[in-house]
Amino acid sequence: MSEKKKKITFDDIARYTNFSKTTISRYFNNPDSLTLKNQEIIAQALIDLDYQENKLAKVLANGKSEFVGIMLPNLFLHYYSEMLNQILSTYEKFGYKFLVFSTGKGSEETERKYLQELLAYKIEGLIVLSHTIPSKELASYQIPIVTIEREDQYVNSINTDNYMGAVQATSLLIKNDCEILIHINSHVPTQIPSYGRIKGFCDTCEQYNIPNELILSDLGNTYAETTQRIADIFSSIEGKYPNIRKGIFMANDTHANIFLNLLMRKYGHFPDEYRIVGFDDSPIASEAIIPISTVGQQIDKIAYEAMELLVSQMNEQKKRKPKPQSDIIHKMITPILIRRDTTS
């Protein structure tokens, strides 16, 4: 039987480096209090001794878990799954791990329960994409928070310039000689950043005096529900606007792909009577049976900027005398129009 490997302690590291145990503790809990040379000596000692850090003990000692909480509305919309993927990929840069809750059809009480669960795990910060809990309440929890594409009056946020994106999408459909422009979306409150997609569509149609229809509907909370409701809207559009070119601006790429699939099932090809533009540039847009034109949100950049802003807040909280944040930060990321096969 192999001999059990000896667990390396702070005492062992102190003896090996000729530093005090207090100095070793400072290296783990407040490394900036040591000179760079001493940090390098201790770091090399950890390699030489094959030290394995006890993360749980560290959490119990200083209350810092190195965990960030993430709250998403769902994962069936490709935008959210790709955003999660990009946030998780920041581990190599920032070193934070993640606890993730998808709220689904959750009520405010359910979402608060999830939030309390995250706080119980001593998360150091929180990224919120779900829409249920008001930002004023989020701010009351007194932990660093960054929101993405949701109401953000009282907390820091990273958002897309949704209005500009909608203008880009609508203008592209106009250039495709569409005779009627249709935007399909949910009932989005004006304080939600994505309301800009509705406003940008309406303003652009008005500016160029283009016939248009705005279809706002409850589009469901699951992929099956959403597919059925978009199918009902598709059937209505087919009956209402026969034999003319219809420019369809969908609220996101998942919905755009559903609409495209409905067309392909009915016609067996992409009919010239339709043009489609989505929103997000999530992977489904480029991987669709016919690649979908879309407004790219630069999801990778949003995820990185959100983590960078959150980390700056968390680092400030770790200081002996953290400075209160003087101004709430709202950062806007410019969208990029991506032309693919569903437009000319």
Provide the pLDDT for residue 55: 54
Tokens of 244: 């003319």
What is d(CA 304, CA 191) in angstroms, rounded to the nearest whole number? 24
Contact criterion met (CB below 8 Å) for 163 and 200: yes
Measured from the Cβ of residue 273, the count of other Cβ atoms closer than 10 Å reads 16
pLDDT of residue 126: 97
- Residue 251 · residue 186 · CB < 8 Å: yes
What per-residue confidence (pLDDT) applies to 60?
46
Q: With the CA atoms of 265, 267, 270 and 271 taken in that order, what torsion angle do they form, in degrees rounded to the nearest 10? A: -150
User: What are 31's two structure tokens?
Assistant: 């490394």
The full set of domains in the chain, from first to last, is: 10-53 (no CATH), 67-160+300-332 (3.40.50.2300), 162-298 (3.40.50.2300)
Rounded Cα distance, 245 and 247, in Å:
7
- pLDDT means per 10 residues in the chain (344 residues)? 65 91 83 86 86 58 76 94 97 94 82 90 93 94 95 97 98 98 97 97 97 96 95 98 97 98 97 98 96 97 97 88 88 97 95
Reading the block at residue 241, the tokens are: 């606007």
324 and 287 in contact (C-beta within 8 Å)? Answer: no
Cα–Cα distances (Å) from 133 to 75, 219, 314, in that order, read 18, 21, 22
